[in-house]
Amino acid sequence: MKQMKMISILWGAILLGIVILLTIFGILFNKKNKIYTDMEEDLVNKAQKYVETSFLYPQDNKTVEITLKELQDAKLVDEFEVENASCDGYVTLKKDNGVYKYKGYINCPEYKTKNYAKNS
């Protein structure tokens, strides 16, 4: 009985250690990617301003792509870099059931948005 109690305590400690390690890795991963998710959000905000001033609203189920170059030409984005490394990006805009949905995509040397596919 005493041996079973020791095994249970050992397994409990191992499981607790695994949970703590996974939590730490998750926090570090989110902190590392925060700068990039902020860039995506900023790109979307600039694209929204660009669409509003240029009236580039898509029709139902159509997608409009706003490139980084377009935003730079409109003087909405200056430099687009992280730690002196240039990044590229674009925003897609789709009208779905009357709601406009923006999604920002960036490509940096250390990070690429999931499903990033540069068409231009």
pLDDT digits over 9-25, tens only? Answer: 999 999 999 999 999 88
Closest CA to 46 of 15, 78, 81: 78
Q: Phi first, then psi: what are they for 59, rounded to 5°?
A: -80, 175
Number of separate domains in the chain: 1
The alpha carbons of the chain give a radius of gyration, in whole angstroms, of 22
Q: Residue 81 belongs to what domain range?
A: 2-112
Tens-digit pLDDT profile for the chain (120 aa)? 788 889 999 999 999 999 999 998 888 777 778 888 899 999 999 999 999 988 888 877 788 999 999 999 999 988 888 888 899 999 999 987 778 899 999 999 988 998 898 654
Report if residue 106 sits inside a domain. Answer: yes
Report if residue 117 sits inside a domain. Answer: no
pLDDT at 118: 60
Report if residue 119 sits inside a domain. Answer: no
Closest CA to 46 of 15, 68, 63: 68
pLDDT at 89: 93
Report if residue 104 sits inside a domain. Answer: yes
Report if residue 44 sits inside a domain. Answer: yes
pLDDT at 120: 43
